[in-house]
Amino acid sequence: MSSLRVTGSSQRGQRRLGSALRYVVAIIAITFALFPVIWVISASVNPSGSLASQELIPDNASLANYRVLLGGDPRFPFLRWLWNSFYLATITSILAVFITSLSAYAFSRFRFAGRRNLLLTLFLIQVFPNTLAMVALFLLLVQLGQYIPQLGVNSHGGLLLIYLGGVMGINVWLMKGFFDSIPRDIDESAMVDGATHWQIFWQLIFPLVRPILVVVGILTFIGVYGDFLIARVMLTSSAQYTVMVGLWVFIADQFSQNWGTFAAGGLMAAIPIVVIYLFLQDQIVGGLTVGSVKG
């Protein structure tokens, strides 16, 4: 009996030790993840705005850096940059969801010549980074702008075309896997009742694939909203800048002196992404997990 008691107490001690270690690891991981955010928040309320005088808890914290952002300085139109990023990301997301869903439905439900080759081509295109095509895309917009100025260099229309082309490939594959998980019996039953392919897609299939539509829309929104490289190359005037490009141009020459304002701008620019994740996190998880069941 005494040996059993010793064994039981030893096991309880091991479980307590294991739980304590897990808590310690979790606290370290959370601290490691939150420290950069806390540091940026601290910098945004530091009125000195200098990287050299950065402190974790500033003595004379104020909202001076935020007043600079929202002060309406024509040399620093932060709100305009924020709006440019938001509406570009929103329009790209809506168009990408609609076009990608039609493409994925066709690849999932129809059988036609070259279907497999087209799918492989879309997949292979994603292997090459966008930086390889940067020069070609720039020259393409230059030529296109000679005929349609709204789609040329330094235009949001041309940038929108580039973004749409970049998000189609992987999203078609992702959405096709979700369409494949929907039974074809739904299509066949609707056809027996005389429904057309468009009616089947819009009235029956489209509501069922809402989780993956949310995933594609959010991923596209975040990718476009946070893009810097393509927007920096294609946009040349301050009025057309996105928030990422505008902030970079603002601090490029005097980074150490404008650090506080840059931190405040980064925090304000992150608000839409945080809000989207908080409200749609369940749809994101559901769309990614269900779409991975059947490819």
Q: Which pLDDT belongs to residue 20? A: 82
The better pLDDT of the pair 262, 60 is held by: 262
32: number of Cβ within 10 Å: 9
Q: Which pLDDT belongs to residue 263? A: 84
R_g of the chain, CA atoms, integer Å: 26
Q: Which pLDDT belongs to residue 294? A: 45
- Per-residue pLDDT band for 54 (boundaries 50, 70, 90) equals low
pLDDT of 284 over the 60 cut: yes
The better pLDDT of the pair 279, 53 is held by: 279
The better pLDDT of the pair 64, 8 is held by: 64
Exposure b/e, 232-244, CB count within 10 A at least 16 = b: ebbbeebebbbbb
Q: Which pLDDT belongs to residue 283? A: 67
The rounded mean pLDDT for the chain is 81
Distance (Å, rounded) from C-alpha 253 to C-alpha 238? Answer: 16
For the record, the structure tokens of 199 come out as: 């009616």
pLDDT of 15 over the 80 cut: no
152-198: per-residue pLDDT in tens?
Answer: 888 999 999 999 888 887 888 888 888 888 888 888 888 888 888 88
How far from the centroid of its chain's Cα atoms is residue 158's Cα? 20
- Per-residue pLDDT band for 242 (boundaries 50, 70, 90) equals very high
Q: What's the burial of 291, exposed, middle or buried (CB within 10 Å: 0-12/13-18/19+)?
A: buried
Secondary structure E strands in 155-268:
none
How far from the centroid of its chain's Cα atoms is residue 271's Cα? 13
Q: Which pLDDT belongs to residue 92? A: 93
Domain ranges (residues) in the chain: 2-66, 73-291
Distance (Å, rounded) from C-alpha 240 to C-alpha 49? Answer: 26
Q: Which pLDDT belongs to residue 160? A: 92
Over range 265-269, report the average pLDDT.
Answer: 88
Distance (Å, rounded) from C-alpha 269 to C-alpha 256? Answer: 20
Q: What is the largest CA-CA distance in the chain?
A: 92
Distance (Å, rounded) from C-alpha 170 to C-alpha 229? Answer: 20
Q: Which pLDDT belongs to residue 257? A: 67
The better pLDDT of the pair 79, 250 is held by: 79
DSSP class of residue 228 equals: -
67-117: per-residue pLDDT in tens?
Answer: 888 876 677 788 899 999 999 999 999 999 999 988 888 888 888 887 888
For the record, the structure tokens of 251 come out as: 């601090």
- Triad 58, 265, 214: Cα angle to 5°: 125
- Per-residue pLDDT band for 61 (boundaries 50, 70, 90) equals confident
Query: In 3D, which of 215, 201, 181, 182 has the Cα closest to residue 292?
Result: 181
Q: Which pLDDT belongs to residue 288? A: 58
Distance (Å, rounded) from C-alpha 49 to C-alpha 263? Answer: 9
Distance (Å, rounded) from C-alpha 86 to C-alpha 224? Answer: 9
How far from the centroid of its chain's Cα atoms is residue 235's Cα? 20
16-49: per-residue pLDDT in tens?
Answer: 777 888 888 888 888 888 888 888 888 888 776 6
Q: Which pLDDT belongs to residue 7? A: 60
Distance (Å, rounded) from C-alpha 110 to C-alpha 247? Answer: 46
- Per-residue pLDDT band for 9 (boundaries 50, 70, 90) equals low
Q: What is the CATH number of domain 73-291?
A: 1.10.3720.10
